[in-house]
């Protein structure tokens, strides 16, 4: 299977309950790691991977996401008029614009689950496999995780590719876990996936994280998928149903992943990037969080 991956779906319609009250008025996907919102890291990753169409599955109460994602010419003009041309240029560089980018916003009126959110994008995807990025899983490269997945997708001979990482046995209950059949470098061959298994029942420690490249048949599976755990339409259930027909492979990305859907993950990501920023690193050193040679104390 060597079809090109042209579409990326960003499901951003969730309630973000684990981050309340921060997410009462601010979408989780706009929470910043230092000065950059989570959604921006995911967009940058998709662009690096050569994605042509970006589809955001959002909710009417989360319009701030669209305001962040799309270009704001008026704000740039104001910044330029105040002599802040560099900042204006920086904003233009990261923003998506209707004239230059292929961007679609669709609404998921009710948060019926990740699988349902992906299904909402169905009528807007370009032909071929689709990429899905969960912005609260921040994966710092280089190389970008999606870019690595897209370039290895063709040689994987599998329709469904999921990003994976090795987790401690005690953590398998937090993830979808692959039933591994063979390992071939970064490619982890699998014949199934178990959702959140207890350690003694886990088929491996190869846990699925928020990057997927999925065969287009995923939409057929999702359309007929019954609600699973939590009464939600689960993406992993639909992937599992297609495994025999299209094949499944895990991909061990090279970057470092942070679960920014949790406070601890968000703090870890912030410290990681702060240590790479001269001004912040000075503060971390003075607080004793970072040793003078920039290694975590």
User: What residues line the site for ligand UTP (CB under 6 A)?
Assistant: 11-19, 28-29, 57, 108, 111-114, 116-117, 134-136, 261
The residues that bridge with 105 in the sheet, in sequence order, are 56
Q: Minimum distance between the CB of residue 195 and ligand UTP, rounded to whole angstroms?
A: 13
Residue closer to ligand UTP (CB basis): 19 or 258: 19
Residue with nearest beta carbon to ligand UTP: 14
Residue closer to ligand UTP (CB basis): 29 or 148: 29
Residue closer to ligand UTP (CB basis): 75 or 227: 227
Q: Minimum distance between the CB of residue 71 and ligand UTP, rounded to whole angstroms?
A: 22
CB distance 190 to 248 below 8 Å: yes
Residue closer to ligand UTP (CB basis): 62 or 76: 62
Alpha-carbon Rg of the chain, whole angstroms? 20
Q: Minimum distance between the CB of residue 148 and ligand UTP, rounded to whole angstroms?
A: 21
Residue closer to ligand UTP (CB basis): 37 or 247: 37
Q: Minimum distance between the CB of residue 280 and ligand UTP, rounded to whole angstroms?
A: 26
Residue closer to ligand UTP (CB basis): 113 or 159: 113
Torsion of CA 188, 172, 226, 53, to 10 degrees: -50
Q: Minimum distance between the CB of residue 277 and ligand UTP, rounded to whole angstroms?
A: 26
Which position has the token pair 């662009």?
Answer: 47
Q: Minimum distance between the CB of residue 66 and ligand UTP, rounded to whole angstroms?
A: 14
């Amino acid at each position: 299977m060597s079809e090109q991956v042209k579409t990326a779906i960003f499901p951003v319609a969730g309630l973000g309950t684990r981050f309340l009250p921060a997410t009462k008025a601010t979408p989780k996907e706009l929470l910043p790691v230092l000065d950059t919102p989570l959604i921006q890291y995911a967009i940058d990753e998709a662009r690096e991977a050569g994605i042509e169409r970006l589809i955001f599955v959002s909710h009417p109460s989360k319009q701030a996401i669209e305001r962040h994602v799309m270009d704001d010419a008026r704000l740039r003009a104001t910044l330029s008029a105040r002599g802040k041309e560099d900042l204006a240029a920086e904003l233009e560089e990261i923003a998506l614009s209707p004239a230059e980018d292929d961007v679609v916003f669709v609404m998921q009126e009710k948060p019926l689950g990740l699988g349902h959110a992906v299904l909402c994008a169905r009528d807007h995807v370009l032909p071929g496999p689709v990429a899905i990025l969960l912005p609260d899983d921040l994966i710092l490269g280089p190389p970008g995780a999606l870019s690595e997945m897209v370039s290895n997708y063709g040689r994987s001979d599998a329709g469904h590719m999921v990003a994976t990482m090795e987790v401690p046995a005690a953590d398998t209950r937090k993830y979808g876990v692959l039933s591994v059949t063979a390992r071939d470098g970064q490619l982890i061959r699998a014949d199934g996936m178990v959702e959140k298994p207890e350690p003694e029942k886990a088929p491996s420690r190869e846990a699925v994280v928020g990057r997927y490249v999925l065969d287009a048949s995923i939409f057929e599976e999702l359309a007929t998928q019954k609600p699973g755990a939590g009464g939600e339409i689960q993406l992993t259930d639909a992937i599992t149903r297609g495994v025999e027909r299209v094949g499944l492979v895990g991909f061990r990305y090279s970057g470092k992943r942070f679960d920014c859907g949790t406070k601890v993950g968000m703090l870890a990501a912030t410290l990681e990037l702060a240590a790479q920023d001269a001004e912040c690193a000075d503060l971390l050193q003075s607080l004793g969080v970072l040793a003078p040679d920039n290694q975590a104390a």
